[in-house]
Amino acid sequence: MSVRHALLALLSEGPAFGLKLQQEFEARTGEVWPLNPGQVYTTLQRLERDGLVESDEPEGSGPQKSYLITTPGRSELDRWLQTPPESDSPPRDELLIKVLVSVRVPDVDVRDVIQEHRRHTVEEMQRYTRVKAEAPSSDHGLAIVVDAELFRLEGVVRWLDATDARLRTMPEVPKVDLIVEQPKSETVGARE
């Protein structure tokens, strides 16, 4: 999460002291990501340098200074809110690779591999759900943060379920010993 834009968002509600901004930031993100206090002040300094915020005393930085968002700061915040998150090239998914590999490896039942990962993922979901269950119902920030992770993990479980079902409907994939398969390249060799 961008600390820079989170601070602009907090300042869009009105001027605030450095210390107050730090406390608010921690409260809003559900205290899931503890922040180094220094990070708030150095970020504020940079925002001031870039003209996105102003302070009552231009020199130095610290908890006692009061900050105010500028018009360019507000524009930057609006732009950021509407910009889709950066999408990198698809990450190499370790779980996907493990499942694909276990379809081929002899003496491995891919459905057992799927179940192992399904259980592990659901246990992690149980832990996140406990966080939500034990938090006060007024803590919307925490619930939103936890939901993000729960929906991601639910997606993993649904993909595992779909893969499980898909493999059931496919004819038994002949397990091939990868080493024995090597000689198939003799066609290539024949040309040499």
Partner 1 sequence: MSAMLELRSVSKTYGLGASEVRALRDVDLSVVAGEMVAVMGPSGSGKSTLLTIAGSLEEASSGEVLVDGQEVSSMTADERARLRRRQIGYVFQDFNLLPGLTALENVSLPLELDGVDLGRARPEALRALDDLEMRQRAEHFPDELSGGEQQRVAIARAVVGSRRLLLADEPSGALDSVNGEAVIRLLRTVCRSGLAVVVVTHDSQLAAWADRIVFLRDGRVVDGTNPPPGPESLLEEQSLG
Residue 158 or 175 having the CB closest to partner 1: 158
Binding mask 137-166 for partner 1 (x = CB under 8 A): -------------xx-xx--xx--x--xx-
Looking only at residues 19 through 48 of this chain, which bind partner 1 when binding is defined by CB under 8 A?
32-34
Given 59, 86, 134, 192, the residue binding partner 1 (CB under 8 A): 134
Given 126, 144, 148, 176, the residue binding partner 1 (CB under 8 A): 126
Q: How many residues bind partner 1 (CB under 8 A)?
A: 28
167: its two tokens: 């493999």
> By CB under 8 A, is residue 91 in contact with partner 1?
no
Q: Write down the least CB distance from residue 125 to partner 1, Å.
A: 4
Looking only at residues 95 through 124 of this chain, which bind partner 1 when binding is defined by CB under 8 A?
111, 115, 118-119, 121-123
Q: Label each residue of the chain as H, E or C.
A: CCHHHHHHHHHCCCCEEHHHHHHHHHHHCCCCCCCCHHHHHHHHHHHHHCCCEEECCCCCCCCCCEEEECHHHHHHHHHHHHCCCCCCCCCCCHHHHHHHHHHHCCCCCHHHHHHHHHHHHHHHHHHHHHHHHHCCCCCHHHHHHHHHHHHHHHHHHHHHHHHHHHHHHCCCCCCCCHHHHHHHHHHHHHHC
Given 64, 96, 127, 173, the residue binding partner 1 (CB under 8 A): 127
Residues interacting with partner 1, by CB under 8 A? 32-34, 111, 115, 118-119, 121-123, 125-131, 133-134, 150-151, 153-154, 157-158, 161, 164-165
